[in-house]
């Protein structure tokens, strides 16, 4: 475990820095910003790594816009999961939206390093979570292993109506495999509450396809 030489805390992004630059970082993310004032943003805030995973991305319900130019010259796309009118039968009321910053183009099907980040205002009053996607360094991609999938999964979609039965539904859906982690969750509904959905941003291992005794996929 890498320790920061200033505060003694864990350097959570050590594997990323070492894979990208070939050297082990001596400072944690917070101490880097404090020790190098030129790196501090115009609006004082600290960024902290919560979790990371090497995976593939299911781009359904992750809409990105761009490309834009980052300060270091890289292209990136910006989008959001959750929020107003999000997903099937989404409405104007919602349980929050989260920014996605991607350094891989929409539809990219190679290994991705996904990071769940937290941004905290310097005054400690406000905190935000967001997701960063970038090409996975070769050193972090396991050989011969199937990668898990990062996806938005709608756990519930519902609609009620005053016009009688047959036009309403309440569908609860299980994940398409074994959920390894749930990073974010939220909901979107009409102001009246008559329809809406509930969703989670998950990392899952796809379920193995069932086969019958002849070796053919099961129906």
Q: How many helices (H) and strands (E) does the chain have?
A: 2, 11
- Looking at the structure, do residues 14 and 81 belong to the same domain, yes or no? no
Bridge partners, residue 135, by sequence: 112
Query: What SS3 state is found at 106?
Result: coil
Residues 77 and 114 in one domain: yes
Report the 10 Å Cβ neighbour count for 203: 20
Query: Are 35 and 48 members of one domain?
Result: no
Tell me whether residue 213 is in a domain: no
Residue with tokens 């959750």: 82
19 and 74, same domain (yes or no): no
Residue 157: HSE in the Cβ half-sphere, 13 Å Cα cutoff: 9
Domain span at residue 21 reads 1-40
Distance CA 154, CA 160 (A): 18
Q: How far apart are CA 128 and CA 172, in angstroms?
A: 28
The answer to whether residue 212 is domain-embedded is: no
Is 22 in the same domain as 54?
no
Same domain, 29 and 63: no
Q: Is residue 217 part of a domain?
A: no
Q: How distant, in Å, are the alpha carbons of 50, 142, 201 from that of 147?
A: 20, 8, 16
49 and 21 share one domain? no
Element (H, E) at 157: strand 149-159
Residues 47 and 26 occupy one common structural domain: no
Pairing mode, strands 149-159 and 45-57: parallel
- Tell whether 219 is covered by a domain: no
Q: Do both 75 and 177 map to the same domain? A: yes
What is the pTM for the complete model shown?
0.75
Give the whole-angstrom CA distance, residue 138 versus residue 150: 19
Domains contained in the chain, number: 2
Closest CA to 91 of 172, 159, 183, 169: 159
Residue 104 · residue 56 · CB < 8 Å: no
Would you say residue 151 lies in a domain?
yes
The answer to whether residues 84 and 138 belong to one domain is: yes
Q: Are residues 115 and 173 in the same domain?
A: yes
Do residues 8 and 87 both lie within one domain?
A: no
Output the tens digit of pLDDT for each of the chain's 219 residues. 677 766 777 777 776 666 666 677 777 776 776 665 545 555 567 788 999 999 999 999 999 999 999 888 889 999 999 999 999 999 999 998 999 999 999 999 999 999 999 988 766 678 899 999 999 998 889 888 899 999 999 999 999 877 666 678 999 999 999 999 999 999 999 999 999 999 999 999 998 764 444 545 444
């Amino acid at each position: 475990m890498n320790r920061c030489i200033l505060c003694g805390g864990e350097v959570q992004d050590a594997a990323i820095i070492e894979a990208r630059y070939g050297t082990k970082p001596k400072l944690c993310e917070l101490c880097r910003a404090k020790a190098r004032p030129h790196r501090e943003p115009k609006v004082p805030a600290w960024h902290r790594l919560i979790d990371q995973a090497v995976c593939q991305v299911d781009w359904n319900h992750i809409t990105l816009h761009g490309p834009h130019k980052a300060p270091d010259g890289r292209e990136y796309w910006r989008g959001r999961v959750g929020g107003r009118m999000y997903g099937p039968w989404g409405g104007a009321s919602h349980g929050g939206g989260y920014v996605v910053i991607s350094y891989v183009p929409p539809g990219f099907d190679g290994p991705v390093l996904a990071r769940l980040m937290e941004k905290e205002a310097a005054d400690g009053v406000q905190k935000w979570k967001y997701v960063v996607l970038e090409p996975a360094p070769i050193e972090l991609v396991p050989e011969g292993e199937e990668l898990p999938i990062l996806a938005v999964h709608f756990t519930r979609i519902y609609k009620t109506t005053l016009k009688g039965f047959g036009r309403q539904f309440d569908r609860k859906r299980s994940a398409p495999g074994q959920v390894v982690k749930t990073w974010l969750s939220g909901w979107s509904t009409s102001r009246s509450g008559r329809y809406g959905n509930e969703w989670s941003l998950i990392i899952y291992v796809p379920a193995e396809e069932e086969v019958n005794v002849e070796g053919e996929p099961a129906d």
